[in-house]
Amino acid sequence: MEKTSENGKRIGRELNAEELSIFCLKLSMMVKSGINVEKSVSILLEDAGNGPDRELLAEIHRLIEEGYTLSKTLETVGRFPSHMIRMIDIGQVTGKLESVLSALSEFYRREASISKMIRNAIMYPAVMLVVTAVILLVLVSRVLPVFQQVFRDMGASISASVQVMLRVADVSKYVAVGLSVVFVAMVVTAGLMSLSAGGRASLSKAADRVFFGNKLNFAVSRSRFASAMSLMLSSGLNIGEALERSGELIGGGPFAANIGRCREKIEEGETFPRAAEAADIFTGMQSGLLSAGFRSGITEQAMNEVSHLCEEDSDAMLFRMVNRVEPALIVILALSVGLVLLSVMLPLIGMMTAIGV
């Protein structure tokens, strides 16, 4: 959905995760080198040339020149998510803007990576289902009617056994048409849902449940939570507030209950590593690494390393899932082909029996 600035000028849609990651990375490099925000945006604007980002950067630069802070500017522009704006505001207040921008870049890079892997995992089955649906529709709409017309012309000489075969073929035809309609409806519905942000979120949740199951869905949520916690701790937030904001980023779902249990354990006096393990958020090895980091005073580095471990686990699990899906697709395609052959061969056998071959 496209946004408008305060002066009513249309400046485009909300940035996706990959675009947000690149924007934060470029800005963090500028700030890290000692260049102030206004000059950094000015340099980015010059480098943009006539590219698609020029209009956005020009609007950001104009607002900053008028005295807006970076967080207020991004909020006014309307193309950036609210949690990113809150984190940048915290970075400005705590003096950790460069760290926050760098952590935001890494967070959105991982979000983009997860989304890409999920899309790739779904695309192959979706394409195969569409191809199967097209083949079935062509066969039942063009091939089977030819055989049925022949039987109508030979109606008087058709035996009872051939009539049974024909009825079975008719049933197979309707099943094939039904499957084709379902496949096409699923693809069209997914396409329409992908046009809006809310639809994409619902589609992603549905895909998690249908294609991935609870185990993989939990692993992906764990990876996203670890990445969010790394971002929050890099911004200077305490554990309690970091947990709260990370929960907001993850959203609802079963994993939210684990975060709630972790917060309860911390309120009872447990350390975060032990509470996270008790709430089944992290494994014993991950919690041990986190505990070592907390004890040695390198909390942010330890959380970042745990985030990488969780990302590797979710990637490996997703890879295994895709490898399991492929044989299942082969079975589905084999059954579909068998259904088509049944629809075509039964009338053929019946015809040969009717004419005494």
Q: Residue 318 carries which side chain, given as an amino acid letter?
A: L
Q: What is the pLDDT of residues 273-304, one digit of tens each?
A: 899 889 888 888 888 888 898 888 888 888 88
186 compared with 299, residue with greater pLDDT: 299
> Are 78 and 4 spatial neighbours (Cβ–Cβ below 8 Å)?
yes
Pairwise pLDDT comparison (1 vs 31), residue with the higher score:
31
pTM of this prediction? 0.65
Residue 313 confidence (pLDDT) above 70: yes
- Contact between 254 and 262 under an 8 Å Cβ cutoff? The reply is no
pLDDT of residue 214: 63
Domain boundary assignment for the chain: 2-80, 109-357
Instruction: Give just the sign of the alpha carbon dihedral 65, 69, 74, 77.
Output: negative
Q: Token digits for 27? A: 């800005």
Q: How far apart are CA 29 and CA 267, in angstroms?
A: 38
| pLDDT (0 to 100) of residue 193 | 64
Render pLDDT for 199-255 as a digit per residue (tens, 0 to 9).
555 655 565 555 445 677 778 788 888 888 888 887 778 888 888 888 877 766 667
Mean pLDDT of 66-83: 88
Higher local confidence (pLDDT), 118 or 290: 290
